[in-house]
Amino acid sequence: MKSIQIYDTTLRDGAQREGISFSVGDKIEIVRLLDALGVDYIEGGWPGSNPKDMEFFARQQDLSLKHAKITAFGSTRRAGVSAESDGNVRALLEANTPAVAVVGKSWDFHVSHALGTTLDENIAMIADTVSYLKSKGLEVIYDAEHFFDGYKYNPVYALKTIQAAAESGADSIALCDTNGGTMPLDVQRIVLEVKKEIATPLGIHAHNDCGMAVANSIIAVQSGVSQVQGTINGYGERCGNADLCAIIANIHLKLKFNKLKTEQLRELTRISKVVAELANMIPQDGQPYVGRNAFTHKGGIHVDAVVKHASTYEHAPPEEVGNKRRILVSELSGKSNILFKGLENNLESIKNYPEAIKVLNVLKKMEHAGYQFEGAEGSFELLVWKTLQTYQPLFKLEAFRLILDKERRGSDVYHVEATIKLRVGDRVVHTAAEGNGPVNAMDNALRKALEEIYPEIKAIKLVDYKVRVLDGKDGTGAVVRVLITSQNGRKRWGTVGVSGNVIEASWIALVDSIEYGLLCDQSPAVEGIKNAISEIAWEEEYIAKTNRL
């Protein structure tokens, strides 16, 4: 079976994306993740270019990796200077890594206009650098920068550059689509032509400026390259690099190369999210394989088919890459959506078709009024309970008042106080609390009123708050939708409120958040939904449940 090497450059190329700046600790953590995943090479940075990379290469020597080789990145020697005396080349040696990646020019246009040297000197720079590093016992990967562009304009010279690297002992040669402008069939043609001339193993390094990075990487693999370079989540300069998450999944599930172990492949989604968190980037919901929406279904016809057999609208099982199937409920839903959500969240109360249709009708009316339950599964479950009258509210609002006072604490500071009166059973609780804004003040007052009766409320934390104007033509009088995300250490849920008054919309979402969190932990009537927002049942389990409906 063909062996494909996975070469990760998240820590260097990926870090060149706007907004990303990994700390040394972040880089060490990512190295551990990638090593456990089974990545072959991890490019740590450019030693000597900045203090952070110097510290990383010093610290990586203490790492005990099971599989991956840390790789230092650098360029060929400068024109007119020997490799031995070139500072960048010395820095590669001082990084003390088992492998190094050396980038050199393959496009004659770059040699003359960027390097400002002769074509022959560029060939000498490549040969001298590769042979010198090989003489020091290092594995050398030669990155042929701008190779595809160079080959299109001057194929003879482009080939000479990589022949120089090959004859000087390079262990592999990565053909780079540095500007990201090459089309897949051109990549295929050029790779096949190069393989006839070069015996050294080839790799592919693709950028995504035309949206072709993954496609170019896959067609290069199909054309015979044995190494694929890329970054987790496709991070990189401009439009990014080839996304290794999609590439790794495609290599296994489509090309059937089986590079990683089954349990390693199932870590792919988690690693994508952890790297996004360390990079301080928002995860891409639509990202293939590992995105939140990769296996999400909304249309009623789609859901009905997926419930019968997942492969009707899924090209691969989500669990193989550690993702999960999600079913949304909206105005596009059919009864299958509602039934599936009941199975997913163990809501046995909607197992019958008439009850599902009753919930669906209420749902569609609420969505017509502006509600959206796609990110608010807590509110959806409360909707089911309220519609079918299967629960008693934990508390009822009697009244609340908000006071916003700017004069009291000076011109730059607002004072916000919420006064609230609740009825809990036969008891009336009347209290007040301050906050740094209206919603925070209401949240504090609500918690203060309930914490003696429901001490579990202390574990519930509000972690996100969003407001969306539904129709901007009404200006400040427009209806708004408020989405609140909460968690309690074991699970995470969303709730929604809609109103022409942002305070009221916030209150609705806030009450749903607190009530849902308490009901999941407190009420015996809903003991069966303790894992309401946990992993869904896999195909065999939920099909079996569906067949019993």
The H-or-E segment that residue 496 falls in is strand 492-499
| pLDDT of the residue at 328 | 64
Instruction: Judge contact between 445 and 469, C-beta under 8 A.
Output: no
Q: Which of 251, 278, 305 corresponds to the end of one domain? A: 278
CATH code assigned at 16: 3.20.20.70
Q: Which of 243, 261, 278 corresponds to the end of one domain? A: 278
In a domain, 355, yes or no: no
Tally of CA atoms within 13 A in the half-sphere of 427 that contains its CB: 9
In a domain, 294, yes or no: no
Residue 454 exposed, middle or buried by CB count within 10 Å (0-12, 13-18, 19+): buried
CATH code assigned at 452: 3.30.160.270
In a domain, 189, yes or no: yes
User: Looking at the structure, do residues 71 and 213 belong to the same domain, yes or no?
Assistant: yes
Angle between helices 300-308 and 539-547 (to 10 degrees): 100
Instruction: Judge contact between 139 and 167, C-beta under 8 A.
Output: no
In a domain, 419, yes or no: yes
The Cα 47–Cα 51 span in angstroms is 8
Instruction: Judge contact between 183 and 152, C-beta under 8 A.
Output: no
Q: Looking at the 3D structure of the chain, how many domains does it have?
A: 2
Query: Residue-wise pLDDT tens for the chain (549 aa)?
Result: 568 999 999 999 999 999 999 989 889 999 999 999 999 999 999 997 788 899 999 999 889 999 999 999 999 999 999 999 999 999 999 999 999 999 999 999 999 998 999 999 999 999 999 999 999 999 999 999 999 999 999 999 999 999 999 999 999 999 999 999 999 999 999 999 999 999 999 999 999 999 999 999 999 999 999 999 999 999 999 999 999 999 999 999 999 987 899 999 999 999 998 898 888 888 898 999 999 888 887 755 665 676 667 677 778 999 999 998 777 654 444 444 444 444 454 444 444 455 666 766 777 777 777 777 766 778 878 877 777 666 778 888 888 888 887 665 555 667 789 999 988 888 899 999 998 888 889 999 999 999 888 888 888 988 888 887 876 555 556 788 888 888 887 778 888 899 888 889 999 999 989 988 888 754 333 333 223 222 322 233 333 333 333
In a domain, 544, yes or no: no
| pLDDT of the residue at 329 | 55
Q: Which of 243, 278, 313 corresponds to the end of one domain? A: 278
Instruction: Judge contact between 127 and 83, C-beta under 8 A.
Output: no
Residue 49 lies in domain = 5-278
Three-state secondary-structure class, residue 109? helix
The Cα 231–Cα 222 span in angstroms is 20
Angle between helices 502-522 and 377-388 (to 10 degrees): 80
Three-state secondary-structure class, residue 55? helix
In a domain, 96, yes or no: yes
Q: Count how many residues are written for the chain.
A: 549
DSSP state of 536: P
The Cα 503–Cα 399 span in angstroms is 13
DSSP state of 24: H
First to last CA, the chain: 45
The Cα 367–Cα 364 span in angstroms is 5
Other CB atoms within 10 A of residue 321 CB: 25
Q: For the chain, what is the radius of gyration of the CA atoms?
A: 29
